Amino acid sequence: MRSQAFAVLPVLLGLTSACSKPILSSGAAADPVPTAAESDTHVSIDTPRTDATPVLVELFSSEGCSSCPPAERVLGDLLDHPPRGTRVLPIEFHVDYWDYIGHVDRFASAAFTQRQKAYAQRLGASSTYTPQAVVDGRAELVGSRAAALALAIEEAAKRPHLRVELTRTESNRCHVAIGATSAARDHVAVMLAEVVRRPATKVERGENAGTTIQHSWVATRLVDLGEAGTNGEVTSGPLTSGRGHEAVAFAVRITDGAILGGDSISMD
């Protein structure tokens, strides 16, 4: 299903079977960024670095949409088996405009709906729908089209990317460092998503009634850490930790919303 046309408001990003619906405008205040005095020493990262190019794939999804589970399986497959030379950073952003059908999505957020709406404006779409995949903030397509999505990831990886390194501090904050010249970092903001890895939900009502949905990486919160500054570094506030939790940070060009690089780290 595809939505009706709608008028969109300017929003800073920091959006063939499909479900869709007109969406409501909403916003979310960014969490405060700690000062240098508040941040602590960061510890070494455990995840090994490779030469693979990280590509951010955002999937706008809903547990109330029957077209979404196949797309979430595609995203999970791409996480496990990314196109050659790439490292897929998957984030499911669950929208809230399908909750009225009968099943209230426990991961849905009006802020994520707003993010999709902002993408619709910037990418020239006249409507929003699920499942919608956005690759590195530049291209959108139906998220269940596995071959097309893999090709979009390969194309995105050909573009120059900034090196983004994410480390976890002893107090469960995340330190983000962008390895580039100050000129390359100009007008670049850092976003951080807290995600849960591969949760499952038993759905009892709505289009997916009677099924258990296996998700990939589902966002629970998205934080704007602001611009990285002259040294290319920024630190988050305390994050949720525990089994199955992950943090994904990515650099966003403020002028057009393009994703310039990213990294992830386990918060287990």
Chain centre distance of CA 91:
4
Could you give the C-alpha distances from 7 to 69, 116, 207, 211, in angstroms and in order? 29, 13, 28, 35
Report the sign of the C-alpha dihedral through residues 97, 222, 73, 157, in that order: positive
The reported pLDDT for the residue numbered 51 is: 82
What are 68-112's pLDDT values in tens digits?
999 999 999 999 999 999 999 999 999 999 999 999 999 999 999
pTM: 0.83
Q: Tens digits of per-residue pLDDT, 116-125?
A: 999 999 999 8
194 or 228, which is more confident: 194
Q: What is the mean pLDDT of the chain?
A: 85
Question: What percentage of the chain carries pLDDT values higher than 90?
Answer: 75
Q: Which of 37-46, 155-164, 253-262 has the lowest mean pLDDT?
A: 37-46
Look at 199 and 34; give whichever has higher pLDDT: 199
What residues form DSSP beta bridges with 200? 214
Q: Lowest mean pLDDT: which of 27-41, 119-133, 228-242?
A: 27-41
- Output the CA–CA distances (angstroms, integers) from residue 158 to 75, 154, 165, 183, 248, in the order listed: 20, 7, 20, 21, 21
Low-confidence winner among 10-14, 58-62, 97-101, 185-189 (lowest mean pLDDT): 10-14
Domain boundaries, the chain: 53-266
Length of the chain: 268
Determine the pLDDT at residue 225.
96
pLDDT per position as a tens digit, 136-166 = 999 999 999 999 999 999 999 999 999 999 9
Q: How far apart are CA 212 and CA 176, in angstroms?
A: 35
Q: Which residues, in sequence order, are bridge partners of residue 19? A: 130
Residue 108: how many other CB atoms lie within 10 Å: 21
The angle, 0 to 180 degrees and rounded to 10, between the axes of the packed helices 146-157 and 68-80 is: 40
- Amino acid residing at 243: R
Mean pLDDT of 232-256: 95
Query: What stretches of 153-244 adopt beta strand conformation (E)?
Result: 163-168, 174-179, 188-197, 200-203, 211-214, 217-227, 233-235
